[in-house]
Structure 1
Amino acid sequence: MIADGPLRDADERLGPWITGSRLPDGAAELLADLGSVAVAAPLLAAAIAYAAWRGHRAGTYRWWLAPVTAAMAMAVVPVLVIPLKELIGRTGPPGMDGTGYYPSGHTATAMVAYGGATLLLLPYLRGSYARRELVIACALLNFGVGLGLVRRGYHWPLDVVASWCLFGMVLQVMVVVVARHGRRADEEPQPK
C-alpha cells in the first residue's frame, strides 16, 4: 500500500511539481544537506552539552534527563528508519536506483536534531518572542530540509511527510518523559 497505490499516485503528481520549482539547485542541495548526520548531529550534541551544563550548574533536579532523552531520540533514528526502509522497500523518484526511500532518513535526522535542540534550549530562553522565534526557525529548517530533498529528486514528498509524522511522535515522547520524570521531588503529585 505504501510502496504503490494511491500514495504513490499522489507522489507522482506532486513530486514533479516540486522538482520543477524555481528553487535553485544549489539552494536545494544545501537544504537537503542540512539533514545529514554530519551537519545535524553536531548541532544537537552542542545543545545537549549546553543543556547539561546549564542544568547541572543551576542544580536542577535530574538535570541529566533532558539531554540523555535527546541523545536517545537521535539513537532511535536508525533503529526505526533502517528496518522500515527494508520492510517497505519503496523505490525512489526517477533517476534514483534501488529501494529503501521510505521514510526519509535525512528528514528524520533533521527532525530529531533540530527539534531536540529546540526542546533543550527553550527552557533557557527568556521571553515569549525568543521562544517563538526558535520554534519557527526549527519548523522552517525542517521544512527546508524536506523541500530540498524532494526538489533535488532524492525522495518522494510522502517519504518526507512520513518522517515528519513518525519523528514528531518521537519528539513528543521526549517531551512527555522530561515533563513527567524531570520534576523535582517537591513537585511530584502526591497520592490521594
Structure 2
Amino acid sequence: MKNAANALLNRVEFPVLLAGLVIAAGLWGLVELMEVARAATPHAFDTEILLAFRQPGQPGVPIGPLWLEGAMRDITSLGSSAVLVLITAATIVYFLLIRRPTTALLIFVAVAGGQVLSSLLKVGIDRPRPELVSHLVSETSLSFPSGHAMLSAVTYLTLGSLASRFLNGQTTKIYVLSLAVLTTLLVGISRVYLGVHWPSDVLAGWCAGFAWAMLCWLAARLLQRRKVVNDDA
C-alpha cells in the first residue's frame, strides 16, 4: 500500500497536487461558511471583525487616517465588474490577435463561469448586506458571497497562472502569482473595511474563487495534455 501511494505521488506533479488541495479546501470552506450565512443572527467573529474596522462606539467612522478610506475605495475598484471586464476583454482580444483562440476561450469560460457561479450563490443564500456599520460605498446586491472577492480571485489568479507560463525563472513566476493573490486579498479586505460585506462573505468569495480558478487551470492543463488545446494555452 505504501509503495503504491509513493508511486502515485511520484506520478502526480506538485502543481497539480497543490491545485487539488486548494479546490478541496475551498469547497470545504465554502460549505462551512454557507452555514454561517444561513444563521438567523450574525456569527460573533463577523460582528467583532466588522466593528474592529470602526472607531469604538462610532460605527460610521472607519479606523485609520483620512486617506485610508480613499485608498480602500481605490483598492475595492480593482474587483469591480467594470475593471475586471475591461482587463478580461483586453486579454482575450490580445490572444485573439496573436492567433490563440483556445486560450482566449478558456479565459472567457473561467471568468464568465465565475460570474455565473457567484450570482447563483447570492440568489441561493439570499443574505442581506450588514447593517451593523455604515456603508462607505453604495451597494444594492445581495451579500453572500462577496462578488468582488470571488471574481478578483478568479480573474487575477487565472491571468496570473497564464502569465507565469510565459515567464522564465521560478522567482519571476512566484512573484506574478503572489501579486495576483495579494491583489485578491486586498480587494476582499477593502470590502470589510468599507462595511459592505460581512467577513464571512469575503472568506466565502475567496474560497469559491480560488477553487474555481484552480479547477479551470486543471481543466486547461488536461485539455493541453490531450492536445485538445493546441495553441499553447
Normalising by structure 2, what TM-score? 0.68
Task: Work out whether 1:28 is the aligned partner of 2:72.
Answer: yes
How far apart are residue 113 of structure 1 and its match? 1.6
Aligned residues: 178
Moved more, 139-148 or 9-18: 9-18
Contact 2:158 2:217 in 1 (8 A): no
Task: Work out whether 1:15 is the aligned partner of 2:50.
Answer: yes
| Regions of 4+ moved over 4 Å | 51-54, 96-99
* Residues 44-101 of structure 1 deviation map (CA, whole Å, 9 limit, x = unaligned): 23333444555x4xxxxxx543331221111123322222212212121224687720
Return 5+ residue gaps in structure 1 as ranges.
57-62, 186-192
Contact 1:44 1:114 in 2 (8 A): no
SS in 1 for 2:165: helix
Across the aligned residues of Structure 1 and Structure 2, the Cα RMSD in angstroms comes to 2.4
Counterpart-to-counterpart distance in 2, 1:128 and 1:53: 28
Write out aligned runs for 1:117-132 (5 A). 117-132=159-174
One of 87, 91, 100 as aligned partner of 2:128: 91
Identify if the C-alpha distance between structure 1 residues 127 and 98 changes in structure 2 by more than 3 Å, giving closer, same or farther. closer
Contact 2:152 2:209 in 1 (8 A): no
Moved more, 37-46 or 5-14: 5-14
Return 5+ residue gaps in structure 2 as ranges.
1-34, 55-61, 228-233
Task: Work out whether 1:80 is the aligned partner of 2:117.
Answer: yes
Aligned to 1:153: 195
Aligned to 1:170: 212
Contact 2:114 2:212 in 1 (8 A): no
Counterpart-to-counterpart distance in 2, 1:37 and 1:115: 16
Contact 1:118 1:134 in 2 (8 A): yes
Counterpart-to-counterpart distance in 2, 1:78 and 1:136: 23
Aligned to 1:189: none
Counterpart-to-counterpart distance in 2, 1:17 and 1:115: 29
One of 184, 195, 205 as aligned partner of 1:142: 184
Contact 1:48 1:117 in 2 (8 A): no
Identify if the C-alpha distance between structure 1 residues 99 and 47 changes in structure 2 by more than 3 Å, giving closer, same or farther. closer
Moved more, 39-48 or 127-136: 39-48
Counterpart-to-counterpart distance in 1, 2:120 and 2:217: 25
Moved more, 15-24 or 121-130: 15-24
Identify if the C-alpha distance between structure 1 residues 7 and 131 changes in structure 2 by more than 3 Å, giving closer, same or farther. farther
Specify the code of the residue in structure 2 equivalent to 1:17.
A
Identity of aligned residues (%): 25
How far apart are residue 144 of structure 1 and its match? 0.9
